């Protein structure tokens, strides 16, 4: 990418957006996809030129047919009629071939761009880390799903249309030159001679119409871009409302949300009205041109027809050729609105690419400013000289060094805002800003339990096995885990599909997360408020697994709930300091009854 890639969106020159997009998108014609891309491109071009050839044939037929009518030559009329089905068949076949090959090229190109952008967005948890950026570029999923389509599919049509327009203009201008020839006329006693006057008139007319459309409609690009942005924000507002429906309903926030949604849609309406006003002016130019250009060639050919220099067939051929040249040369006028829509989507796609690249650049730091994730030289988890910072540089945790032995159960505590969840994200490799070293044992399986576990689509069994859905696990093992975690009442639904993300309560989600632990038995478990939605009795029942079924697992957990200390052997406390939280560690002392009870449970 260019040096402008790291600049804010409003600081990037407008033309660099399209250049950046093309640099990314033309990779379809390189590498592994190049063979298919070039084959489709060549087929499309072949059909496009064949279609122009069919148009030239029909144009010549016009002269042949109308000359036969003028001379009342029945044989020539029958011959012309006999040729017409062949010409129409050729035109239909070439048009159909062009449509099919064009659509194939559009689908494959969009597929390539979508796979590249979606893969870039999803890989290395960028979809997650993107939320840490202070950026106005929202709804990346819409940009990938919809803006990529608008940025690629019409572009194929534009390229074909522009090429066809150029070849058509040259071809039919030559016909105008040949058939209509030059014109001589007198004004105020002076004689004027204009060679190839019909071709010159067609070019001048198209230039005037194109310039008029450009100056009237050039502001449309920005207004369409604003309209698309407002539409995306409105969709995001509605999605936020749906995702937080229960919380909003419980606190009776309907009125406030209604006001917010109406205000958001009001911005959509304002943006749309700006587009409508500008399109109204542009439509005036386009409709005036549409009414004039079929008449202009007839008026220009009339003097030569009346003087006998052109036959009726010649007039019809010239009129058709003039219209073809006209349609080709005003291609820009006819596609101005679609070009505006296309460019607005190109900008949004390139903004996403720029933001993803900015995210990558932001994580590339000097060696002493980079969090190093590596394998430990023993079975312990090693955190050495770890400092974590926000993206703006403010230090959250300063110079923490922690060693966690295999099988140890560690509780991380501290005031809100001291960086406990940030530390968990760093352990998961999701927090790139900071310095120091984090080392995990080699080749061990570890699991992260967030406060709201993810529930994918599928059967209840798929949820229990996630993310190892392809691993064969006996149903009895899953049922036993569900019984142990307090989900026995759901066993009968093990093979049912449902919208689990909506159906399950917060407590049920967390119980399913513990079921996964029982089934997968990871060596390292990292929990962030993993029992916050459960009552204390249920919490104690699930956490007792750490001393029974998962006694060999290393556990790092974050939580504020009473009773958590009973299930951990060491407490790491984050203490707020102006230069970043400081870390201290101390063993947790349990009562004699607690120690005896735990030992009895393990021996039993």
Q: What is the DSSP string of 213-258?
A: HHHHHTTHHHHHHHHHHHHHHHHHHHHHHHHTHHHHHHTT-HHHHH
Pick from 526, 532, 521: nearest CA to 448: 526
- Beta strands 190-194 and 371-375, pairing class: unpaired
For residues 412 and 558, is the Cβ–Cβ distance under 8 A?
yes
Task: Give the C-alpha separation, 439 to 265, whole Å.
Answer: 49
Pick from 331, 333, 347, 352: nearest CA to 223: 347
For position 137, what pLDDT does the model report? Answer: 52
Burial of 300 (0-12, 13-18, 19+ CB in 10 A): buried
For position 337, what pLDDT does the model report? Answer: 66
For position 437, what pLDDT does the model report? Answer: 87
Task: Give the C-alpha separation, 402 to 179, whole Å.
Answer: 90
3-state helix, strand, coil in the chain (%, to 5): 65, 15, 20
For position 4, what pLDDT does the model report? Answer: 37
Task: Give the C-alpha separation, 418 to 403, whole Å.
Answer: 20
CA distances from 327 to 34, 215, 253, 294, 517 (A): 33, 19, 56, 10, 68
For residues 228 and 137, is the Cβ–Cβ distance under 8 A?
no
Query: What predicted TM-score, i.e. pTM, was given to this entire model?
Result: 0.55
For position 132, what pLDDT does the model report? Answer: 59
For position 185, what pLDDT does the model report? Answer: 62
- Beta strands 582-587 and 570-575, pairing class: antiparallel
For residues 414 and 420, is the Cβ–Cβ distance under 8 A?
yes
For position 368, what pLDDT does the model report? Answer: 45
For residues 565 and 411, is the Cβ–Cβ distance under 8 A?
yes
pLDDT digits (tens, 9 = 90+) for 71-107: 777 877 788 888 888 888 888 888 888 888 888 888 8
Burial of 155 (0-12, 13-18, 19+ CB in 10 A): buried
Contacts 24+ apart (CB under 8 A), 298-303: 300/197, 300/198, 300/201, 301/180, 301/198, 303/183, 303/185
With a cut of 50, which residues of the chain have pLDDT below it? 1-15, 134, 365-368
Radius of gyration of the chain (CA): 36
For position 102, what pLDDT does the model report? Answer: 86
CA distances from 77 to 179, 244, 317 (A): 21, 74, 16
Q: Between helices 296-306 and 312-329, what is the axis angle to 10°?
A: 150
For position 512, what pLDDT does the model report? Answer: 92
- Beta strands 395-404 and 381-389, pairing class: antiparallel
Tokens (6 digits) for 41: 């491109």
For position 6, what pLDDT does the model report? Answer: 36
For residues 148 and 290, is the Cβ–Cβ distance under 8 A?
no
Signed CA dihedral, 578, 579, 580, 583: sign only: negative
Task: Give the C-alpha separation, 478 to 218, whole Å.
Answer: 63
């Amino acid at each position: 990418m260019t040096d402008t890639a790291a600049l804010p969106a409003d600081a990037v020159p407008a033309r660099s957006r399209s250049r950046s997009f093309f640099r990314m998108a033309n990779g379809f014609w390189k590498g592994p996809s190049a063979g298919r891309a070039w084959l489709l491109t060549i087929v499309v071009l072949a059909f496009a030129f064949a279609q122009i050839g069919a148009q030239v044939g029909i144009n010549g037929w016009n002269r042949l047919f109308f000359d036969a009518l003028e001379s009342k030559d029945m044989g020539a009329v029958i011959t012309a009629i006999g040729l017409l089905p062949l010409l129409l068949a050729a035109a239909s076949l070439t048009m159909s071939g062009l449509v099919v090959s064009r659509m194939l090229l559009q689908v494959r190109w969009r597929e390539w761009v979508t796979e590249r952008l979606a893969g870039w967005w999803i890989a290395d948890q960028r979809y997650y880390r993107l939320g840490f950026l202070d950026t106005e570029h929202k709804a990346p999923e819409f940009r990938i799903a919809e803006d990529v389509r608008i940025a690629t599919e019409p572009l194929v049509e534009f390229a074909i249309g522009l090429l066809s327009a150029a070849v058509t203009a040259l071809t039919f201008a030559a016909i105008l030159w040949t058939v209509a020839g030059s014109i001589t006329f007198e004004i105020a006693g002076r004689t004027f001679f204009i060679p190839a006057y019909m071709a010159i008139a067609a070019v001048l007319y198209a230039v005037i119409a194109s310039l008029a459309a450009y100056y009237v409609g050039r502001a449309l690009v920005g207004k369409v871009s604003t309209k698309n942005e407002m539409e995306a924000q409105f969709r995001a507002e509605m999605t936020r409302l749906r995702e937080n429906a229960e919380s909003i309903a419980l606190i009776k926030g309907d009125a406030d949300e209604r006001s917010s949604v109406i205000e958001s849609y009001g911005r959509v309406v304002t943006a749309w009205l700006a587009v409508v006003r500008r399109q109204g002016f542009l439509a005036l130019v386009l409709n005036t041109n549409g009414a004039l250009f079929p008449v202009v060639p007839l008026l220009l050919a009339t003097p030569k027809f009346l003087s006998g220099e052109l036959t009726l067939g010649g007039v019809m051929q010239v009129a058709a050729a003039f219209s073809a040249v006209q349609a080709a040369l005003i291609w820009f006028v006819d596609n101005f609105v679609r070009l505006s829509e296309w460019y607005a989507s190109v900008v949004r796609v390139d903004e996403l690419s720029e933001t993803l690249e900015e995210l990558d650049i932001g994580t590339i730091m000097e060696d002493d400013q980079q969090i190093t994730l590596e394998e430990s030289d023993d079975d312990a988890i090693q955190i050495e000289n770890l400092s974590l910072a926000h993206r703006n540089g403010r230090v959250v945790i300063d110079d923490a060094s922690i060693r966690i032995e295999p099988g140890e159960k560690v509780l991380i505590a501290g005031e809100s805002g001291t960086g406990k969840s940030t530390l968990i994200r760093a352990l998961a490799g999701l927090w790139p800003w900071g310095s120091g070293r984090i080392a995990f044992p080699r080749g061990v399986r570890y699991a992260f339990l967030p406060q709201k576990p993810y529930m994918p689509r599928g059967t209840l069994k798929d949820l229990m096995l996630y993310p190892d859905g392809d691993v064969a696990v006996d149903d009895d093992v899953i049922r036993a885990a569900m019984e142990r975690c307090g989900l026995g009442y759901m066993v009968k639904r093990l093979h049912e599909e449902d919208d689990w993300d909506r159906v399950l309560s917060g407590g049920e989600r967390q119980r399913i997360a513990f079921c996964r632990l029982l089934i997968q038995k990871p060596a390292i478990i990292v929990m962030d408020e993993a029992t916050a939605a459960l009552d204390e009795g249920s919490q104690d029942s699930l956490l007792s697994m750490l001393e029974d079924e998962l006694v060999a697992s290393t556990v790092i957990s974050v939580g504020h709930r009473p009773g958590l200390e009973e299930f951990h052997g060491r407490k790491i406390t984050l203490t707020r300091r102006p230069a970043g939280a400081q870390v201290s560690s101390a063993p947790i002392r349990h009562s004699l009854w607690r120690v005896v009870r735990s030992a009895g449970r393990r021996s039993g």
